[in-house]
Amino acid sequence: MERKQFIGFLLIAIIVAGYMTWTSIQAPPPKPKQSEQQSAQEQNAQEQNAKELSAQQPASSETAKSPTSSQGNPQQAATGAPSKTNNPLHSKFGALYDKHLSGANESIVVENDHIKVRVIAEGGTVRSWRLKEFKSWYGDTVQLVPFKNQFGALGIKFIDRNDGQGAATRESNVVDTRELYFAVKNPRAQGNYFRVSGNDSVSIVATLALANGGVIEKTYTFYGNSYHTNLAVRISGMDGVMDKKYTLLWQNGLQFQEKNSVDESSQAKAWLAQNGTASEIDAGGDAKPVETNGVLDFAAIKSKYFVAAIKPSAALSNETLQTTLTGYKMDAPQEGVLEYYDMKIDVPYRNNRVDNFTVYIGPVDYEVLKPYGLESAFNFASQSFLGLQYIAHPVGEYFILPLLRFVYKFIVSNYGLAIIIFSLVMKLLLHPLTVGQTRTAQKMQLLAPEMEKIKTKYKDDMQKQQQETMALYSQYGINPAGGCLPLVLQIPIFTALYSVFSSDISLRQTPFFGWIHDLSIADEIIRLPFKLPLLNVDIVSGLAIASGLAMFAQQYATVKDPQQRAMVYLMPVMMTFGFSALPSGLSLYYFMFNILSVAQQYYTTHFAKNKMTLADLKKAPKKEGWLQKRLREAQEAAGAQGRSLPGQSNGGAGNTKDKKR
């Protein structure tokens, strides 16, 4: 019967492999079905890209004509924002405000080796920040400034304390300079498009001259080969107006880039380092704003693969900066949750002082982030799994990620093949752990007939059965926990593997072969019409099926205890569905690891020179393990007191006493 079941599993594997190969050759991958939110994102991206293209043509000696403010902002129109003429700012700044309201919304595009950025006159903010080397799930270049923002990023607010009405904390006293039009230009050249590369740099200055004579100036300096800009803020002539400080802010997190935005935002967070101490907020839980005062090292917000961070310069290290991080969550279809984050930095106002900030907006790439001191953005270990992050984090950071990158860089330039080689290396390194597990399994197989005799002889006395079994273990020097300990020791390693394979941007959108078109997401071959209870998955992965079959083959060959036979069939099924939602890169690793384990087991069983026998096992030196000793002592104590251990039958013990009487 078991032979027929094994053949059945083998036929299923052949059919699945043949089906996946045939479909990958015969038909192009189906166009993903877009949710309403994702469709809106794509439409907004295309509209935004069209606007950028109109401003990205290299200018001649004359500045290219820019679209005027009468053309409007489609994002603002969609949000139904109130007219600026009704804003309290209009009465405060009068004609000058009218000028900024009706002036041309000029913009300048700067492009370097990695990014393409658009700085707009409205607020002197960054309206678009595109990463040229990365694509969103629908094919457009990654644009990280949220589309739904009414204004651009890196805006400035302050409180006007000189409106003649006191009460400087009233909402009407807040001056949001993102509602005013700055003059934006390159001080050294005319034009609305600038290309910089290598070690060169270019600066864009956004200047706002207020009616009271005050000036707010923001200078963005871009470098040829980097993902960051240096933002210099200079405010002058505001002694009687600005209430001690101004606020530099970023709202609504980062624009989602992945098809599964719920999974993407589940790894989003905001955090800061202040006075050497890190504080973090996760909107997925009971999110409360994090507000701190002190010397700010950096403040940052991230999605799954991208991060925006603001680092004050060393000159601000003597200033007390109040930093506020706020998280928001909103419901998404199919019981999903989306997360967004705001960050605000309050900077003390000093007349005519230049405050410098390094603003990094780019990929969560460990090697790129490290020079900025932002490597903590890389998720090396889960923060909620039995505290294992304290072990898994260094394993991932100093071993797994460097080893995977080394294999890819120096051995094979294909991440799918690199993962296969990586799994072989990991198998060799973990051999001392797995070989102990294999030997324990072999010993248990040899003892299986003796254990069956004990169960038959003492079938009505569970306590005696347990005592005789422990005596048998001691006689042949077997530690019953010997097969479990190697698995426990591998848990931190597997946790680190999961985190690295889920967070490494090098695997993002990286195909392998056939149906495996992205190693960072599940290799889905079947979509179920419902979610499985407990596991909460509705997809079936091809590699997960292959891994389940490999696990079945391994357990089928090693587990001989009839009482454990059900696990031979149950565990592979559970693991198949459990792994179906994991990144295909991790599933590929686990599949190869299982295949190598099956090969190791087959070799040990059929080709090992010195095959162990029951007689050899009895002659071997005996060493009682700590757990084995504790179990024996507990059973002896229970037997002396005429009681049973938890899980044992009292009836057997009672029958024994009756016989003695």
Q: How confident is the model at residue 523, as a pLDDT?
A: 92
Closest CA to 126 of 154, 146, 148: 154
- The predicted model gives 537-546 an average pLDDT of 90
Taking the CA atoms of 211, 215, 216 and 221 in sequence, report the sign of the dihedral they define. positive
- For 85-132, the DSSP string reads GGSHHHHHHHHHHHHHHHS---EEEEE-SSEEEEEESBTT-EEEEEEE
Higher pLDDT, 41 or 279: 279
How many domains in the chain? 2
| % of the chain exceeding 90 in pLDDT | 37
What is the edge-to-edge ordering of all strands in the sheet holding 336-348? 174-176, 155-160, 242-250, 336-348, 321-332, 290-294
- The predicted model gives 382-407 an average pLDDT of 82
Q: How confident is the model at residue 415, as a pLDDT?
A: 95
Specify the range with the lowest mean pLDDT, choosing from 82-86, 240-244, 270-274, 356-360.
Answer: 82-86
415 & 489 share domain: yes
Q: How confident is the model at residue 632, as a pLDDT?
A: 60
Residue 601 has pLDDT above 60, yes or no: yes
> For residue 336, what are the β-bridge partners?
332
16 & 144 share domain: no
Q: State which amino acid sits at residue 537.
A: V
Residue 649 has pLDDT above 70, yes or no: no
- The predicted model gives 98-115 an average pLDDT of 75
pLDDT digits (tens, 9 = 90+) for 352-366: 999 999 999 999 999
pTM, 2 dp:
0.77
Specify the range with the lowest mean pLDDT, choosing from 68-72, 208-212, 449-453.
Answer: 68-72
Residue 57 has pLDDT above 50, yes or no: no
Specify the range with the lowest mean pLDDT, choosing from 184-193, 196-205, 472-481.
Answer: 472-481
What are the structure tokens assigned to 546, written together? Answer: 């292959």
Higher pLDDT, 563 or 605: 605
Which of 617, 638, 654 is the last residue before a domain boundary? 617
What are the structure tokens assigned to 201, written together? Answer: 């740099």
Tell me which H or E stretch contains 36: helix 36-55
Contacts of 631 (CB under 8 A, 6+ apart): 470, 480
315 belongs to a structural domain: yes
Coil vs helix vs strand at 577: helix
Q: How confident is the model at residue 462, as a pLDDT?
A: 82
CATH of the domain at 197: 2.70.98.90
Q: State which amino acid sits at residue 223.
A: Y
End-to-end Cα separation, the chain, in angstroms: 47
What are the structure tokens assigned to 455, written together? Answer: 């169960």
pLDDT digits (tens, 9 = 90+) for 381-391: 765 555 677 88
Q: How confident is the model at residue 556, as a pLDDT?
A: 78
- The predicted model gives 176-201 an average pLDDT of 92
- Show the domain range for 505: 2-24+389-617
- 623 falls in which pLDDT band (50, 70, 90)? low
Q: What is the largest CA-CA distance in the chain?
A: 114
- The predicted model gives 434-445 an average pLDDT of 74
Neighbours of 1 (CB within 10 A): 5
Place of tokens 């009405």: 165
519 belongs to a structural domain: yes
Query: Taking a C-beta distance cutoff of 8 angstroms, is the pair 544, 576 a contact?
Result: yes
Q: How confident is the model at residue 602, as a pLDDT?
A: 79
Which of 320, 351, 377 is the last residue before a domain boundary? 377
- 508 falls in which pLDDT band (50, 70, 90)? very high
Burial of 615 (0-12, 13-18, 19+ CB in 10 A): exposed
pLDDT digits (tens, 9 = 90+) for 307-350: 999 999 988 988 889 999 999 888 877 777 888 899 999 999 99
CA distances from 79 to 75, 83, 327 (A): 7, 12, 21
Q: How confident is the model at residue 619, as a pLDDT?
A: 67
Tell me which H or E stretch contains 44: helix 36-55
- 652 falls in which pLDDT band (50, 70, 90)? very low
Q: How confident is the model at residue 481, as a pLDDT?
A: 64
285 & 168 share domain: yes
Coil vs helix vs strand at 140: coil
pLDDT digits (tens, 9 = 90+) for 132-155: 999 999 999 999 999 888 889 999
- 81 falls in which pLDDT band (50, 70, 90)? very low
370 & 399 share domain: no
278 belongs to a structural domain: yes
Q: Where are the alpha helices (DSSP H) in 372-510?
A: 389-395, 401-410, 415-429, 431-457, 462-476, 485-503
Query: Taking a C-beta distance cutoff of 8 angstroms, is the pair 325, 309 a contact?
Result: no
Higher pLDDT, 225 or 487: 225
Q: State which amino acid sits at residue 440.
A: T
Specify the range with the lowest mean pLDDT, choosing from 50-54, 373-377, 487-491, 609-613.
Answer: 50-54
623 belongs to a structural domain: no
- 600 falls in which pLDDT band (50, 70, 90)? confident
Q: How confident is the model at residue 609, as a pLDDT?
A: 65
Residue 291 has pLDDT above 50, yes or no: yes
46 belongs to a structural domain: no
648 belongs to a structural domain: no
Coil vs helix vs strand at 28: coil
- The predicted model gives 580-584 an average pLDDT of 89
- 205 falls in which pLDDT band (50, 70, 90)? very high
Q: How confident is the model at residue 654, as a pLDDT?
A: 43
362: left (phi over 0), alpha (psi -120 to 50) or beta: beta
330 & 446 share domain: no
pLDDT digits (tens, 9 = 90+) for 247-280: 999 999 999 999 988 888 888 899 999 877 888 8
393 & 308 share domain: no
Which of 377, 400, 428 is the last residue before a domain boundary? 377
192 & 318 share domain: yes
Higher pLDDT, 201 or 634: 201
Q: How confident is the model at residue 97, as a pLDDT?
A: 45
Spacing of C-alpha 194 from chain mean position: 34
Q: How confident is the model at residue 489, as a pLDDT?
A: 73
Coil vs helix vs strand at 444: helix
Q: How confident is the model at residue 400, as a pLDDT?
A: 94
Q: How confident is the model at residue 42, as a pLDDT?
A: 44
124 & 250 share domain: yes
Residue 181 has pLDDT above 60, yes or no: yes
What is the edge-to-edge ordering of all strands in the sheet holding 107-111? 141-143, 126-135, 115-120, 107-111, 193-195
433 & 504 share domain: yes
- 15 falls in which pLDDT band (50, 70, 90)? low
657 belongs to a structural domain: no
327 & 444 share domain: no
Residue 586 has pLDDT above 60, yes or no: yes
442 & 552 share domain: yes
> For residue 375, what are the β-bridge partners?
none
The rounded mean pLDDT for the chain is: 77
Higher pLDDT, 568 or 581: 581
406 & 366 share domain: no
